[in-house]
Copies of this chain bind each other. A is one copy, B any other.
Amino acid sequence: MDDERYERGRARFLEVHDEKALAAVEGLGDLGRAIVGFVYGDVYANDALSTRDRELAAVAALVALGRSSQIPQHLRASLKAGVTPDELREVILQTATIAGFPPAMNAMSTLRSILSEQGLDR
């Protein structure tokens, strides 16, 4: 994978997430390089979709699939990109209609913990 693409991916990853998340991904060897270079250097680097919209869609997809390990990271990225707590609550509720209540219940508990950590709970 060429260096320019990787550097573009690293820069984009840090805009969306943070240093700690990057270190975790870079600890995954070739898979980590594929995530940085392809997901952030190719896909997220395209400005056809705003970061806010990407994160809204990412949360919906992750909740639908019940991918509990990656949901916290993208809930945090959503808040950083300007999705409001109410919008996150609503996208989780709506995803319950598409994927069932069980994965939405888990995601809502995770969201509540993150909002509480960030002093954003009402």
A residues within 8 Å of B by Cβ? 1-2, 5, 25, 27-31, 34-35, 37-39, 42-44, 46, 48-49, 53-54, 56-67, 69-70, 86-87, 89-106, 108-109, 112
Q: Chain B residues near A39 (CB, 8 Å)?
A: 97, 101
Contact status B62-A102, CB under 8 Å: yes
Contact status A34-B106, CB under 8 Å: no
Number of copies: 6
> Cα distance A93–B59 when bound, in Å?
15
A-B contact pairs, 25 of them (CB 8 A): A25-B105, A31-B93, A31-B96, A31-B104, A34-B38, A35-B105, A37-B42, A39-B101, A49-B86, A49-B94, A53-B87, A53-B91, A54-B94, A57-B94, A58-B98, A60-B64, A61-B95, A61-B98, A65-B65, A65-B98, A65-B99, A66-B67, A67-B102, A97-B100, A100-B100
Contact of A105 among B59, B61, B69 (CB under 8 A): B69
Contact status B101-A35, CB under 8 Å: yes
Contact status A105-B28, CB under 8 Å: yes
